[in-house]
Structure 1
Amino acid sequence: MKKIMFVGSVGVGKTTLTQRLKGLDISYYKTQAIQFYDAIIDTPGEFLQHRRYYNALTVTASEADVIGLLVSATATMQTFPQGFSSLFTKPVIGVITKIDMAEDPSMIEHAREQLQGAGAVEIFEISAIENIGVDALRDYLVED
């Protein structure tokens, strides 16, 4: 399985998606520090939201095979700067979270445009709570 590092803002669903992929009970807690699991690295949202932490993301990325940028379907603010993926020397994918909460398809399209602008080459649409799209992401991580 490819080792993935999740990057996204506070509350986007990185920890919930990690729990779903690991087959754990879904329970909310605030990630305070980088959490290493077998094949998942869960980063605090502050590492994206405060530019001075970008260095921590690039250093931690050396442990991953692929970088997953997460944007919520409900987010209205720009999450990632244009070309954000250029910080990494690994493949970068996008994950649109909380698709079950999107009131209309334009919200998902807005998230997709953010991820494309950031440089994600493949984008997955996920609801970790409803377990929608998780298998497609898992299949991507398992394939060679």
Structure 2
Amino acid sequence: MRKIILIGPTGSGKTTFTQGINNKKRKYKKTQSIERDKEIIDTPGEYIENRRFYNALITTSFDCEIIGLVQDCTRDECLFPPSFAAIFNKPVIGIVTKVDSEEKNLAYAEECLLDAGAEKIFKVSSLDGTGMDEIKKFLDIDSFTAEKGELQR
């Protein structure tokens, strides 16, 4: 599996996604610092919520191959600045979480991630497994060129 860093606001589902993709029992906790679980780097929500932590995201991204921007589809606010992905020299994907929720706005979540610069969007639910096989397959298959750092379509 290619190493991915997850970036998103507090409560967006980064830790639950990490537990789901690694087939671990869910236990809820507040991520206080950068955590590594197999090939996933889980960052605290404060790192996107406070611009002063952007340098920590950039520095930590050197240890991965893919940047994953995480947006909860039940939220009506986007914390990713337009073209945020441009600060990384890696392919950037968007991960829309909580798609199993009754109160969701998938179009807004996708728009948020596309405006931020995500090249490909995955819609997932870590609770019922929706979309998890697709993103697992993506992370296992060599679908980007390392020299160019671009996703292959």
Alignment TM class, shorter chain as reference: over 0.9
Partner of 2:125: 127
Give TM-score, length-normalised by structure 1: 0.96
Residue 134 of structure 1 aligns with an amino acid whose one-letter code is M
Equivalent pairs counted in the alignment come to 142
For the Cα contact (< 8 Å) 1:67–1:93, is it kept in 2? yes
Distance 1:84 1:102, change over 3 A: farther
More relative contact order, 1 or 2 (CA 8 Å, 6+ apart): 1
Q: Say what the alpha-carbon RMSD is for the aligned residues.
A: 0.9
Residue 48 of structure 1 aligns with an amino acid whose one-letter code is I
Cα offset, 1:79, TM superposition = 2.0
Cα offset, 1:103, TM superposition = 3.1
Structure whose residues are more often helix by fraction: 1
How far apart are the structure 2 equivalents of 1:131 and 1:30?
22
The alignment-based identity, stated in percent, is 42
Give ranges in structure 1 of 5+ residues lacking alignment. none
Residue 24 of structure 1 aligns with an amino acid whose one-letter code is K
Give TM-score, length-normalised by structure 2: 0.91
For the Cα contact (< 8 Å) 1:73–1:102, is it kept in 2? no
Q: Deviations over 1:41-64 (max 9, x none)?
A: 000000000000000000000001
Q: Which runs of structure 1 show a deviation greater than 3 angstroms over 4 or more consecutive aligned residues?
A: none
- Aligned counterparts, 1:1-144, within 5 A: 1-103=1-103, 107-144=105-142
Give ranges in structure 2 of 5+ residues lacking alignment. 143-153
Cα offset, 1:101, TM superposition = 1.1
> 3-state SS of the aligned residue for 2:70?
strand
Residue 84 of structure 2 aligns with an amino acid whose one-letter code is F
> 3-state SS of the aligned residue for 2:95?
strand
Q: Deviations over 1:21-40 (max 9, x none)?
A: 11100110100000012210
Q: Deviations over 1:72-110 (max 9, x none)?
A: 111101221000001100000000000111436xx1011
Distance 1:63 1:108, change over 3 A: same
